[in-house]
Amino acid sequence: MNKTILSALMVGTLAAGAAMPAAAASDNKKSLNAWQDCGIGAIIFPANGTAAAISNIIWDLGTTAVTSNASSQNSCSGEKAKTAMFIQATMPVLEQEVAIGEGEYVTAMLELRGCEAASHSAIINAVREDFAEKENDSAQALYETLEQRVETSFSASCASV
Amino acid sequence: MKKNFWYLMALLVFLVFFTRPAFAGSQSPESFAENKQWHKLLHYPLAAAKPGYITSDSFYLSANGRRDPLAELTATIKAFYREKKTANPGEKHARCRFPARFKLITRHVDLSPFGQLPAVNCQDYQNWRQQVDIHSLSVVFASGYMGNPASMYGHLFLKLNRSSTRKSDLLNTSLNYGAIVPEQENPVVYVLRGIFGGYDAGYSDQQFYRHHHNYGDVELRDMWEYKLNLSADDVDLIAAHIWEVLGNKFDYYFIDENCAFHIAKLLELVLTEPLIANSSLWVIPSAVAKGLEQANYQDKALLENITFIPSRESVLHDYYRQLTPKQKAIAGELINDGFNFANKGYRQLAVKEQKTILETLFQYQNVIKQKQADAGVVKANTRKLMRERLKLPPGRAIAQGKNSGKKAPHLGMKPSKYSLGVADIDSSKQYLTAGFRMTYFDDLSSSVARNPYANLEMLDFEFISDEKKTRLLRLDLLDLDALHTPGVPWRGETPYAWSVRAGYEAFNNACLDCGIYFVEGDIGKSYRFGENSLAYGMLGGKVFAGHRDDVTVTGKLGLLTSLGGKAKMKLELQQAARLNLSQSYRHRFYGEINYQFAPDWEVRFLLTSSAATLIGLKMNYYWGF
């Protein structure tokens, strides 16, 4: 009995010591494509960028309230998936801040992605350059541009997930 | 390895002996069951006869837990002592489901007769707390939204702020309360069930960026953040309780058991005085904002500070004000020329000026995207803007300016009204008048913290009485108008003026007993002139039944103007005719002057002409729960 309690405490202590996102991320496959594997584009939000708002315009605000973050944690809860969802939900404004090179949505995106604050400016400048070359400036294109830059040039400054 | 083992053992000893509850409580369960904070944790109404607000069976551990605080306390303590069943690993232990109850019970109740608590590992709860990382609380007020009747009063939600060392406010968690409405709900059913009940409701946690984007960017609503000055221990208690209520269901009632009510109830968990009066028959968000501003907490003000969060539309107007006339002209040319950046004037500008124009045009695009149907054109033009801005160096060129005089919602006038006055008809008959209005404001009252050319009144009664008889002169179930909302810069157009009204009224001043039930609606245009004046013209229709039954078309011409800081005047001339134009009704004239002589007091002079002339003088007193 005592052994069981001690084991439970040990497991709990060790697990509590690890950051939750990192723990969740460690379960994710390295090849996780948040956009596809987590259904970001098609399932969580419809194609248009303002969809995040639509379900909220009810009895101010009647969200589909009882489905909460607390009940939706899954393998797609890592930084990549969260960043992808953030981009999809805020794209119309986010892309403008990307073009400007700074802003509160850009800061939030990079913090969500697990990038150190000191690297934000350099990352977004690099993303700007790539984004300017792209024909497709959809939310998914921005996400992929960011991921590519993080992996190739800023892996030391951002969470590795 | 051996060294690590002993470190681990030392840690375990520490956990076992020092992190277990101290059982410092000294009250008996019977005594603690009457504790107000315990009742608040169980979401009991103050009226003892009513059951708890939460309708989910699983929230109450006792079969009588929705009504009986002692039964629920006893069941909760029993559940805390229950060993977790290994057969149901997915089932959460009561201590993990109810961390706030655990905190309060171990603080107040003497648990020594129950023995030692079993060890429980609440990993999900710990993960959530770590993820949400709550250090302080703010209440966010999203201003009224005329696009949805249910949103006209504004909306409240909580923001759970992380420590200040974390950077992005957008990634803080917010807690919302709302009804759960099926998709594609019939609008009539939506209104009826919203008012009379029929929807479940609940709290949901989402990152703040979703609300920030939804309200500020999509619905173009300004927000006000009321940051609260709570102790770390009370923030911890509220955070623990939020975990307890997430996923549980409530009944939804738009009038009283709405977002404002349940956000207030959550905060009242740690307050000694309620934010809204216990006797409140209706609860509106601005009343809770007033309560926050006036509340005391541990001998100091509850409110730490207020921050304005402008909508995209407010940002656009702010940026527009900062442009030079030349920049405004060039930006206008770019808009009219389909965002052709070969524009000579634009090309000749310095880079910083170009950036200033582009950043303003981004805001312009954000606003018209929400107001203009042709999304394809907006998207194509935004894309051009993006391309042009990406060619220029990074970095913001235009700063967000000061708030352009908008006032926080708690500064607005109180929503409910009593009135008392005298009236004279055709200089031959005198009356007393008395009125009552439930909510919220009319276009002659103070414009602080609201659109100055709008009317939002619900349940507005006026009685008229002579020595023989008291009659209902008028009942507006609903009286809404939006005579003017600011246009979008460069577009040179103003949104439509509109009004909707439904209720009961005397057919005309010559026959006060000739009542009709009516619904009317009008739409038209308005024109602002001077600093505080507005002229409008509208066409519409009115359907009525009672003393007479008819369907009419109506035309209205009106003027709304300020007569100095505290006085306003409204004049309106109305002409109605049968729908087939076979008969005209007599014209109606309405004129009213209001003077606010104290924060909650007004005096009004009224003159209406409709078959007979009524002249009235009345005093209004404003109040709120």
For the segment A96-112, the average pLDDT, to the nearest whole number, is: 95
Q: How would you classify residue B128: left for phi > 0, otherwise alpha for psi between -120 and 50, otherwise beta?
A: alpha
Q: What is the spatial distance between Cα A127 and Cα A149, in angstroms, rounded to a whole number? A: 7
Give residue B179's Cα distance to chain centre: 14
- The interface residues of chain A toward chain B in range 98-137, judged by CB-CB distance below 8 A, are 99-105, 107-108, 111-112, 117, 121, 124-125, 128, 131-132, 137
User: In this complex, which of A55, A59, A137 lies closest to B252 when CB atoms are compared?
Assistant: A59
> Which of A59, A87, A95, A130 should one mutate to test binding to chain B, selecting the residue with the greatest count of B CBs within 10 A?
A59
Contact at CB, A65 and B177, closer than 8 angstroms: yes
User: Residue B279: which pLDDT band, with cuts at 50, 70 and 90?
Assistant: confident
Alpha-carbon Rg for chain B, nearest whole angstrom, is: 30
- Mean predicted lDDT score pLDDT of chain B: 90
Collapsing DSSP to helix, strand or coil, B73 comes out as helix
B148 inside 8 A of chain A by CB: yes
Specify the pLDDT at position B144. Answer: 86
- The interface residues of chain B toward chain A in range 287-316, judged by CB-CB distance below 8 A, are 312
> Which of B131, B145, B193 should one mutate to test binding to chain A, selecting the residue with the greatest count of A CBs within 10 A?
B131
Specify the pLDDT at position B581. Answer: 81
A73 inside 8 A of chain B by CB: yes
Specify the pLDDT at position B597. Answer: 95
B108 token code pair: 């107040």
Higher pLDDT, A61 or B187: B187
Which of chain A's residues have a Cβ under 8 Å away from the Cβ of B213?
52-53, 89-90, 93
Residue B125 has pLDDT above 60, yes or no: yes
Specify the pLDDT at position A9. Answer: 37
B345 inside 8 A of chain A by CB: no
DSSP type of residue B54: B
Q: In this predicted model, what pLDDT tens digit does every residue of A4-49 receive, in sequence order?
A: 443 343 333 333 333 333 333 333 334 456 666 665 544 333 333 3
Which of chain B's residues have a Cβ under 8 Å away from the Cβ of A52?
210, 213-214
Cα→Cα distances B114→B105, B502, B573, Å: 13, 62, 78
Query: Strands (DSSP E) along B220-302, which ranges?
Result: 223-228, 250-252, 296-297, 300-301
Specify the pLDDT at position B451. Answer: 84
Specify the pLDDT at position A131. Answer: 86
- Residue position matching structure tokens 């002209």: B329
Contact at CB, B395 and A102, closer than 8 angstroms: yes
Contact at CB, A99 and B167, closer than 8 angstroms: no
Q: Model ipTM?
A: 0.85
- The interface residues of chain B toward chain A in range 494-553, judged by CB-CB distance below 8 A, are none
Contact at CB, A92 and B173, closer than 8 angstroms: no
Residue A56 has pLDDT above 80, yes or no: no
- Mean predicted lDDT score pLDDT of chain A: 66
Residue A147 has pLDDT above 50, yes or no: yes
Specify the pLDDT at position B494. Answer: 78
For the segment B41-67, the average pLDDT, to the nearest whole number, is: 91
Contacts of B201 (CB under 8 A, 6+ apart): A62, A65, B177, B178, B179, B180, B249, B250, B251, B252, B257, B262
Contact at CB, B383 and A137, closer than 8 angstroms: yes
Contact at CB, A59 and B179, closer than 8 angstroms: yes
For the segment B206-231, the average pLDDT, to the nearest whole number, is: 93
Which of chain B's residues have a Cβ under 8 Å away from the Cβ of A59?
150, 178-179, 181, 190, 194, 199, 252, 254, 258
User: Residue B278: which pLDDT band, with cuts at 50, 70 and 90?
Assistant: confident
B217 inside 8 A of chain A by CB: yes
B256 inside 8 A of chain A by CB: no
A5 inside 8 A of chain B by CB: yes
B106 inside 8 A of chain A by CB: no
Are residues B389 and B363 in contact, defined by beta-carbon separation less than 8 angstroms? no
Residue B596 has phi, psi (to 5 degrees) of -90, 110
Which of chain B's residues have a Cβ under 8 Å away from the Cβ of A21?
131
Specify the pLDDT at position B18. Answer: 43
User: In this complex, which of A96, A101, A108 lies closest to B171 when CB atoms are compared?
Assistant: A108
Rounded to the nearest 10 degrees, the angle between the axes of helix B99-108 and helix B69-80 is 100
- Give A98 to chain B, closest Cα distance, Å: 8
Contact at CB, B201 and A65, closer than 8 angstroms: yes
Q: What is the spatial distance between Cα B498 and Cα B438, in angstroms, rounded to a whole number? A: 22
Specify the pLDDT at position B103. Answer: 96
- Residue position matching structure tokens 């005309």: B508
Collapsing DSSP to helix, strand or coil, B378 comes out as helix
For the segment B368-378, the average pLDDT, to the nearest whole number, is: 83
Contact at CB, A107 and B202, closer than 8 angstroms: no
- The interface residues of chain A toward chain B in range 82-101, judged by CB-CB distance below 8 A, are 86, 89-90, 92-93, 95-96, 99-101
A39 token code pair: 């259904």
pTM, two decimal places: 0.86
Which DSSP string do the residues of A39-51 spell out, in sequence order? TIIIIIS-SSTTH
Lowest mean pLDDT among A47-51, B35-39, B597-601: A47-51
> Which of B162, B203, B204 should one mutate to test binding to chain A, selecting the residue with the greatest count of A CBs within 10 A?
B204
Higher pLDDT, B447 or B421: B421
Which of chain A's residues have a Cβ under 8 Å away from the Cβ of B170?
104-105, 107-108
Higher pLDDT, A23 or B525: B525
- The interface residues of chain A toward chain B in range 19-38, judged by CB-CB distance below 8 A, are 19-21
B187 inside 8 A of chain A by CB: no
What are the respective helix, strand and coil percentages of chain B, to the nearest 5? 30, 35, 35
Lowest mean pLDDT among B35-44, B45-54, B225-234, B583-592: B45-54
For residue B423, give the nearest of B620, B608, B622, B611 by alpha carbon. B608
Q: What is the spatial distance between Cα B549 and Cα B515, in angstroms, rounded to a whole number? A: 11
Higher pLDDT, B303 or B164: B303
For the segment B310-336, the average pLDDT, to the nearest whole number, is: 95
Q: What is the spatial distance between Cα B74 and Cα B29, in angstroms, rounded to a whole number? A: 7
User: Residue B17: which pLDDT band, with cuts at 50, 70 and 90?
Assistant: very low
Contact at CB, A60 and B385, closer than 8 angstroms: no
Lowest mean pLDDT among B46-60, B497-511, B560-574: B46-60
Which of chain B's residues have a Cβ under 8 Å away from the Cβ of A102?
394-396
Which chain B residue has its CA at the smallest distance from A63's CA?
Answer: B178
Percent of chain B at pLDDT > 70 equals 94
Residue B442 has pLDDT above 70, yes or no: yes
Residue B48 has pLDDT above 80, yes or no: no
B476 token code pair: 């507006």
Which DSSP string do the residues of B157-213 spell out, in sequence order? EEEEE--TTS--GGGSEEEEEEE---TT--HHHHHHHHHH--EEEEEEEEEHHHHII
- Give A31 to chain B, closest Cα distance, Å: 24
Residue A1 has pLDDT above 80, yes or no: no
Higher pLDDT, B444 or A46: B444
Are residues B519 and B543 in contact, defined by beta-carbon separation less than 8 angstroms? yes
Are residues B598 and B412 in contact, defined by beta-carbon separation less than 8 angstroms? no
Q: What is the spatial distance between Cα B369 and Cα B382, in angstroms, rounded to a whole number? A: 10
- The interface residues of chain B toward chain A in range 378-437, judged by CB-CB distance below 8 A, are 382-383, 385-387, 389-391, 393-396
Which chain B residue has its CA at the smallest distance from A2's CA?
Answer: B119
Interface A-B, measured as beta-carbon pairs within 8 A, has a size of 204
Contact at CB, B369 and A92, closer than 8 angstroms: yes
B205 inside 8 A of chain A by CB: yes
The neighbouring-strand residues paired with B465 are B432, B470
For residue B508, give the nearest of B425, B394, B601 by alpha carbon. B425
Lowest mean pLDDT among B21-25, B186-190, B332-336, B386-390: B21-25
Contact at CB, A93 and B203, closer than 8 angstroms: no
Are residues B521 and B497 in contact, defined by beta-carbon separation less than 8 angstroms? no
Specify the pLDDT at position B27. Answer: 92
Q: What is the spatial distance between Cα A151 and Cα A42, in angstroms, rounded to a whole number? A: 25
**How many H helices and E strands in chain A?**
8, 0
Q: What is the spatial distance between Cα B254 and Cα B42, in angstroms, rounded to a whole number? A: 22
Give residue A68's Cα distance to chain centre: 17
Are residues A124 and A153 in contact, defined by beta-carbon separation less than 8 angstroms? no
- Give B171 to chain A, closest Cα distance, Å: 6
Residue A55 has pLDDT above 70, yes or no: no
Residue B26 has pLDDT above 60, yes or no: yes
Which amino acid appears at position A77 of this protein? S
Which of chain B's residues have a Cβ under 8 Å away from the Cβ of A10?
8, 12
Specify the pLDDT at position B422. Answer: 97
